[in-house]
Structure 1
Amino acid sequence: MTLLSILGFMGCSALALEINGGGGSQEEKASKMMARADNVPEDDWVEVFRHDPKVDPGCLSIDTSCLRLSARWSVDHKVSLEEAADRFGMESNSDGPVSGRYMGCIRTESDGVSREPLCIEESAEGSDSYEITIQMERD
């Protein structure tokens, strides 16, 4: 009976790991997300907002994203969407605009495990000011 209980617990743990996407602990995933976000801005970008992921080790990603990161920067010049996406580490299979555009969004979705839009828009402050926003969700 004890052996069956132990095997059942191990099976549930393995199932929870598989549901959550595997590939490391929640802390490791959160650290990777933050490192990618840190790589996006250039020296003259001003951070307007940042919400780093909070690790919830009991999160099961069946109906919610376990890790979320949002960040927004303001700049006083045009920024190439393609270059920002490259610094963000977006894969070439992204759904997005034609090369060379300065405004719009590029989105990636990876096997239903993560979603990552990167958007550049004119700021409400004026036409010479732009906002770059990233949002990352990982199950």
Structure 2
Amino acid sequence: MTLLCILGFMGCSALAQEINGGGGSQAEKASEMMARADNVPEDDWVEVFRHDPKVDPGCLSIDTSCLRLSARWSVDHKISLEETANRFGMKSDSDGPVLGRYVGCVSTESDGASRESLCIEESSEGSDSYEVTVQMERD
């Protein structure tokens, strides 16, 4: 009976891993997400908010995103949307940001398994003050 319980648990774990995409463990995916977010800010940016993903080995990605990251920085000068998106690993296309744009959003969705967005908005604190927000979700 004990052996059957152990085999059943191992089978459920393998099934959960397969449902969640199998493309690396949740810890590896979370680490990759945090590294990409860390690459966005420049030295003079001030972090306002950060919520890193928490690894939940019991999460099944059938109906929810298992990993989420949100971060926001305040910047007291104009920054290029295109350059910031490139540091984040998002390539601009013909519908994406154009050189010289300072505000706007870029977003991607990959096979329903991941969603990412990067937005630069003018801050309510005054002219030439901006907020940069990054959001990522992975199944």
Q: Which residue of the partner structure matches residue 27 of structure 1?
A: 27
What residue identity is the alignment partner of 1:85? A
Two-structure CA RMSD over aligned residues (Å)? 2.4
1:95 deviates by: 6.0
Q: Assess, with a 3 A threshold, how the Cα gap between structure 1 residues 108 and 13 changes in structure 2: closer, same or farther.
A: same
- Equivalent-residue separation in structure 2 for 1:93 and 1:111 (angstroms): 18
1:80 partnered with 2:92: no
Q: Which residue of the partner structure matches residue 69 of structure 1?
A: 69
Matching of residues 1-139 of structure 1 within 5 Å? 12-92=12-92, 96-139=96-139
Q: Could you tell me which runs of 5 or more consecutive residues in structure 1 were left unpaired when the two chains were aligned.
A: none
1:93 deviates by: 6.0
- 1:90-120 Cα deviation digits (max 9, x unpaired): 2456963334311100001111111000000
The list of structure 1 runs, each at least 4 consecutive aligned residues, that deviate by more than 6 angstroms after superposition, is: 2-8
Among all aligned residue pairs of Structure 1 and Structure 2, give the percentage whose two residues are the same amino acid: 87
- 1:31-63 Cα deviation digits (max 9, x unpaired): 111000000000010000000011100000111
What residue identity is the alignment partner of 1:122? E
- Equivalent-residue separation in structure 2 for 1:56 and 1:95 (angstroms): 36
**Normalising to structure 1: TM-score of the pair?**
0.87
